[in-house]
Structure 1
Amino acid sequence: MSCVEEREAENPQKATNGLPDLEQGSVKTTESRNATVGSYPWMQFNIGSLHLYPVTLKFEEVVYKVKVGGHQQTGLWSLCMDGSGIESGEKTILNGITGMVCPGEILAMLGPSGSGKTTLLTALGGRLSGKLSGKITYNSQPFSSCMKRRIGFVAQHDVLYPHLTVAETLVFAALLRLPNTLTHADKVEHVEHVIAELGLGRCRNSMIGGPLFRGISGGEKKRVSIGQEMLINPSLLLLDEPTSGLDSTTAQRILSTVKRLASGGRTVVTTIHQPSSRLYHMFDKLILLSQGCPIYYGQASNALDYFSSIGFSTSVTINPADLLLDLAHGIAPDSMDAADQGDFNGDMEEKQKLVRENLISAYDKNIATRLKVELCILDVNNYNYKKEASTKNVAKAEQWCTSWWQQFKVLLRRGLKERRHEAFNRLRIFQVISVALLAGLLWWHSPISHIQDRIALIFFFSVFWGFFPLYNAVFTFPQERSMLIKERSSGMYRLSSYFLARTVGDLPMELALPTAFVIIIYWMGGLKPDPTSFILSLLVVLYSVLVSQSLGLAIGAILMDVKQATTLASVTTLVFLIAGGYYIQQIPPFIIWLKYLSFSFYCYKLLLGVQFTEDDYYECSKGVFCKVLDFPPVKSVGLTHLWMDACIMALMLVGYRLVAYLALHRVQVR
């Protein structure tokens, strides 16, 4: 029995409005469907690769286990594991989940928190790594890069850039995700269709908003997240808790939108925690999970009748979802006879355990066997996916929708727009300029005879512009971790294009502020007044900024945690400060290697080399002149081999950024 035949047999009154006729992998609608689809503008926007290829999703005996450090666990988990508990330090998250969802249907995954809903959804989207067994197929084919492009995945938490507007968010996503066969104008037009259909027209020019400032509402954010996935016209749409945190009216609007998307021939799977009765009746199929074990699969409208037939019924009018969640928790309906629950005086946990045993046993007896037979006789060839099969090899060959250069340009533009408020904020500019003015006043026109003060000013240059950009760079990748995982999981861009665009986008502010700083304090401090020395000093400072930023990026990328990264950065900067060659001139031989790891040491030495030569003298006492090279802070670092020091800093610049790039590869992409 095919999916179409199954739906028509269960809903004969809807047979004429069932799935669209399929021909050569594209949607060919009947007259009745045309009347419906006509109200959804983007469904008619079939350009190039945006054709809709309906997908039948099957998953059989899906089992997923994770390691828990060898701890043994007992209780409810043992029910899903033949009473054997957790062996070898493994915990079963999913245990034998089987089901099927066809184009035009919504499959809802219902269950308590921790029941495995999100894990199963992630597995169906091909984003779950680890010990996963079972069989998941899309039109009887395994997961592939071709299928990955046709899956839209909407996470529970909306991961969006707060300073971009709704229109900018969708346009940048379209430029990255839609293929090169579409022009820029086509992509923008497609975005306009999506904005209109999702009802985002009124907030199209409003910023998304974040924790520090108000933006669009939660429901609008969720629609923006859905819109990002709808841009690729997905055949399979996966949504994780799309109504979480929303009021009932907003949740109704969101799910109504999802229902309309499904009616266009898409396959929709969603997890949901506690839907209202209005939302529940919008689902076509339902999987009820309890601690990773299935206790119901079938038509959502038949769930209550099924549980009533196995002795779990209630005479009280209740939201079906509430009853199902109670059963998933192991709580029997309050109308059940005490004798039906068993004759024991155990505690609540034992009662819940017995209820769950009964439900799992009933599932195995009444649903599991029948479901396996239905899946075995399913003939997806009735859909005639010849066109999809012919494009499979092409999709594999074209792993990316856009070229590296296009990705870089779009990501750079997006990064500059997103961080324009952060980078060029008044507080940061005030911070740098005020420090420069204050330092310039403190070192106002220091005479050559006050060599100690001049050297202190040079060391201040190396320290301030060694550590200030480092601390700023530490936050770069940890703050964007969730966005990087989301977009890389969707195959939006190459990591190299993201990395280069992200680092290049930071350069304007990272180099503009130290330039202004040096211009102010250099002339106020009375350093060597010729233009060549000024330009060389500026270049050395900017060089140090880039090296320092590289180290900060590497620390942040390796740890990917703001607290840990700032702690390591603090320890590192303290060591570099002490070993920088100014505070301690005679470092013990067994630890002297530390100063050669300090980029501030090389910056300090290069700045000294710009300001002084080996033949320079200063007035060490009245009427007595001494060699600058004999002054202890200068003598400890020397004024030779400056080109070698510059090369070492170049190695640090490249090395730290390479470490950061390789560390980002370790970020798990689901």
Structure 2
Amino acid sequence: MDHELSNIEAQVKQSSEHENVGNFKKVNHPITLKFEDVVYGVKSDGRGRFFLLNKKSVKPDEKLILKGVSGIVCAGEILAMLGPSGSGKTTLLTALGGRLGGGGLGGSITYNTELYSSAIKRNIGFVSQDDILYPHLTVTETIVYTALLRLPNTMSKQEKISHAHGVITQLGLTTCKDVIIGGSMLKGISGGEKKRVSIGQEMIINPRLLLLDEPTSGLDSTTAQKIVSTLWDFANGGRTIVMSIHQPSSRLFYMFHKVLLLSEGNSLYYGKSENAMDYFASIGFAPSVAMNPSDFLLDLANGVSENESSDDTDEIKRTLVSAYKSDLEEIVKAELKGIDRCPQVIFDGKKQYKKWPTSWWEQFWVLLMRGLKERKHESFSNLKFVEVIIVALLAAFLWWKSDINHLQDQTSLFFFSATYWGFVPILEAIFAFPTEKLMLEKERSSGMYKLSSFFLARITSDLPMELALPTVFVFVTYFMGGLKRSLGSFLYYLFSQLLGVLVSQGLGLALGAALMDLKAATVLGMVIMNSSVLTGGYYVQNAPTSIAWLKYLSLTWHTYKLLLGSQYKIGETYPCQSSGDSNNETCLIDNFPTIKPVGLGGQLSSALALVIMMVGYRLIAYISLMRIGITKK
């Protein structure tokens, strides 16, 4: 795997020698986006969604997010959606990208007069407001892995990598291409560079329609200017661009071809950016001094005007909504009917696109390499290694060469080992899917890969760390602890320990995926593991019959049984001494107090039980990911 990663990195460096590779070409089949009377409503508690189309009234527990918004964007145009927080910008943008699921959406959204489909999805780029990126990957690695996943198999790997480098060059990321993305606690590239990387991930497919949610949020005016200028160049290539933006500078405002102003889900203005100030002046709203048009429009959307008192905000909003309906609504409808002024191309997605851009195996392999590259820093961190070594050495010295004459000590070592490697993997695995949820939703929404390929790649990429550290622990404690110097016994012991680790990891994956809440999953995981330890057969030898059956569900019980079986056999004896008798006697190991409740028989049954748990917990994790809606196409 490291060899494959090295090959990719070498190919990336080789492709950097070509200056003009992968530059964006003019779109041959543009998309005209039309949305008409778009309505969206939710329950006021945010839990349920419902259809509001043709409803005459809204109930008290219902809330309209969008209230009949219309517009059209042709190829080569940039539409900017302005409005205060809560005005519906992001909701409308999400709906236009085909990502607003769960019902509640009414109206019409078409792409070259066609409804949303898998083929159209493959031609839409969507850049979310938050830059969802892996912090330990470099800029080049981030774009390259995206190219390998999103570009079709009609291109070779080298062509995909070359195209990725072209995107990096086009976006002006060459100077930071070998710098890691970084995060809150990890220094990396700047905020503006992160935004360009996010845009680059979408531009890698050369989309016909690009949607961006506040791409300039949190950036200084110069950086924002560079990003919008880049988007302007994209639009000149025949692409359709729609973005939500909060408060652009006047310089940016006039770069937009069209502006849509929203307030509480209502349209207050739709039209050319240069006509916006004249329109509001014509209906009695004009600034007394020269000011940024976007600032003025946002004041109006918030119900603030120099001509009215601050107590009349609702009245101002009603006036603006009424003016839009009387002065602009018919003009917008006429523009929607005149859609033929935009370039029209029949979109035959069935002939041009397969369901997935790459095969299942390619998806798995790329995701596996990316996972290993990203998580090797945390998986093999010095802190974790030192932790395991310290615990292993402490245990080894405490149980130093404990032979069969110290049977109590030996069985204590086995139970401690089963318990310790029950807790550690579950605490690691619980974090797997909750921390990946945003990335998974982002990439799955883009149709990058199947859930099954991601799932198997994710759990496989964790195996090196999950298996390497307990193996080191076993090597240290087994030989220093004086256990059987037999290859068969050692391998049996190691296999038993690693099988228990895989079960614990599976339980953590299942809890994390089912709850998607780190605190709740950790608490529940500790409850389950403590219950497993209590029913593990070491502390209580005479459990009540009504509750004794819980041991068969205990990970600790089965692992402890296998560890005992690796060292002792039925019928073996150990030196014991009856009370008051000085003569050495032997007793059956089967009857030793900490062995008898568990027994040495049924080794195969316990191994089979652990295998069933290992597979079953992972199936629960996979089904849980499906149930929370991440598999939405």
Corresponding residue for residue 63 of structure 1: 39
Amino acid at match of 2:66: L
Corresponding residue for residue 668 of structure 1: 629
Corresponding residue for residue 367 of structure 1: 328
CA–CA distance in structure 2, aligned partners of residues 204 and 226 of structure 1? 15
In the TM superposition, residue 41 of structure 1 has moved relative to its aligned partner by 6.7
CA–CA distance in structure 2, aligned partners of residues 584 and 633 of structure 1? 9
The residue correspondences of 1:385-400 to structure 2 (distance < 5 A) are 385-386=345-346, 388-389=347-348, 392-395=349-352, 398-400=354-356
Partner of residue 355 from structure 1, selected from 316, 333, 356: 316
Amino acid at match of 2:234: L
In the TM superposition, residue 85 of structure 1 has moved relative to its aligned partner by 7.8
Contact 1:104 1:265 in 2 (8 A): yes
3-state SS in 1 of match to 2:34:
strand
In the TM superposition, residue 522 of structure 1 has moved relative to its aligned partner by 0.5
Q: CA offsets per residue over residues 233-257 of structure 1, 9 Å max, x none?
A: 0000000010011111111111111
Corresponding residue for residue 257 of structure 1: 230
Amino acid at match of 2:434: P
Amino acid at match of 1:664: L
Partner of residue 286 from structure 2, selected from 313, 318, 329: 313
Question: Is 1:542 paired with 2:498?
Answer: yes
CA–CA distance in structure 2, aligned partners of residues 564 and 236 of structure 1? 40
Corresponding residue for residue 414 of structure 2: 458
The residue correspondences of 1:623-638 to structure 2 (distance < 5 A) are 623-638=584-599
Contact 1:485 1:667 in 2 (8 A): no
CA–CA distance in structure 2, aligned partners of residues 321 and 83 of structure 1? 34
Corresponding residue for residue 4 of structure 1: none
Q: CA offsets per residue over residues 525-574 of structure 1, 9 Å max, x none?
A: 11222221111000110111111111111111111121111111111111
Contact 1:124 1:136 in 2 (8 A): yes
3-state SS in 1 of match to 2:595:
helix
CA–CA distance in structure 1, aligned partners of residues 239 and 22 of structure 2? 13
Q: Which runs of 4+ in 1 moved over 6 A?
A: 80-85
CA–CA distance in structure 2, aligned partners of residues 539 and 45 of structure 1? 56
Question: Is 1:562 paired with 2:518?
Answer: yes
Q: CA 1:648 to 1:70, structure 2 compared with 1: closer, same or farther past 3 Å? A: closer
Partner of residue 185 from structure 1, selected from 127, 134, 158: 158
Q: CA offsets per residue over residues 470-492 of structure 1, 9 Å max, x none?
A: 11111011111110000000000
In the TM superposition, residue 379 of structure 1 has moved relative to its aligned partner by 2.3
- Segments of structure 1 that go 5 or more residues without pairing to the other structure are 1-38, 72-79, 342-347
In the TM superposition, residue 509 of structure 1 has moved relative to its aligned partner by 1.5
CA–CA distance in structure 1, aligned partners of residues 169 and 28 of structure 2? 19
Question: Is 1:516 paired with 2:516?
Answer: no
In the TM superposition, residue 588 of structure 1 has moved relative to its aligned partner by 2.1
In the TM superposition, residue 506 of structure 1 has moved relative to its aligned partner by 1.1
- Segments of structure 2 that go 5 or more residues without pairing to the other structure are 1-18
Corresponding residue for residue 136 of structure 2: 163
Corresponding residue for residue 529 of structure 2: 573
TM-score by length of 2: 0.92
Partner of residue 270 from structure 1, selected from 209, 223, 243: 243
CA–CA distance in structure 1, aligned partners of residues 21 and 574 of structure 2? 80
Corresponding residue for residue 302 of structure 1: 275
Q: CA 1:267 to 1:406, structure 2 compared with 1: closer, same or farther past 3 Å? A: same
CA–CA distance in structure 2, aligned partners of residues 244 and 44 of structure 1? 25
In the TM superposition, residue 378 of structure 1 has moved relative to its aligned partner by 2.3
Contact 1:540 1:606 in 2 (8 A): yes
Partner of residue 135 from structure 1, selected from 88, 108, 121: 108
CA–CA distance in structure 1, aligned partners of residues 183 and 628 of structure 2? 24
3-state SS in 1 of match to 2:41:
strand
Contact 1:151 1:234 in 2 (8 A): yes
Corresponding residue for residue 202 of structure 2: 229
Partner of residue 391 from structure 2, selected from 428, 435, 442: 435
Q: CA 1:541 to 1:501, structure 2 compared with 1: closer, same or farther past 3 Å? A: same
Over aligned residue pairs, what C-alpha RMSD do you find?
Answer: 2.1
CA–CA distance in structure 2, aligned partners of residues 278 and 418 of structure 1? 39
In the TM superposition, residue 618 of structure 1 has moved relative to its aligned partner by 1.8
Question: Is 1:196 paired with 2:164?
Answer: no
CA–CA distance in structure 2, aligned partners of residues 559 and 248 of structure 1? 41
CA–CA distance in structure 2, aligned partners of residues 576 and 70 of structure 1? 38
Contact 1:580 1:604 in 2 (8 A): yes
Amino acid at match of 1:550: G
Amino acid at match of 2:400: W
CA–CA distance in structure 1, aligned partners of residues 151 and 25 of structure 2? 13
3-state SS in 1 of match to 2:107:
strand
Corresponding residue for residue 324 of structure 1: 297
3-state SS in 2 of match to 1:450:
helix
Q: Which moved more, 1:119-128 or 1:314-323?
A: 314-323
Amino acid at match of 1:357: R
How many residues get paired?
603
Q: CA offsets per residue over residues 182-215 of structure 1, 9 Å max, x none?
A: 0111111111111111000000000000122100
3-state SS in 2 of match to 1:633:
coil
Corresponding residue for residue 107 of structure 1: 79
Corresponding residue for residue 122 of structure 1: 94
CA–CA distance in structure 1, aligned partners of residues 75 and 287 of structure 2? 34
Contact 2:72 2:335 in 1 (8 A): no
Q: Which moved more, 1:80-89 or 1:645-654?
A: 80-89
3-state SS in 2 of match to 1:128:
coil
Contact 2:168 2:200 in 1 (8 A): yes
CA–CA distance in structure 2, aligned partners of residues 67 and 97 of structure 1? 20
In the TM superposition, residue 43 of structure 1 has moved relative to its aligned partner by 5.1
In the TM superposition, residue 455 of structure 1 has moved relative to its aligned partner by 0.6
Amino acid at match of 2:482: G
3-state SS in 2 of match to 1:402:
coil
CA–CA distance in structure 2, aligned partners of residues 105 and 45 of structure 1? 16
3-state SS in 2 of match to 1:136:
strand
In the TM superposition, residue 45 of structure 1 has moved relative to its aligned partner by 5.2
Contact 1:60 1:136 in 2 (8 A): yes
Question: Is 1:242 paired with 2:215?
Answer: yes
Corresponding residue for residue 16 of structure 2: none
Q: CA offsets per residue over residues 625-648 of structure 1, 9 Å max, x none?
A: 221111222111111121111111
Corresponding residue for residue 482 of structure 1: 438
Contact 2:21 2:162 in 1 (8 A): no
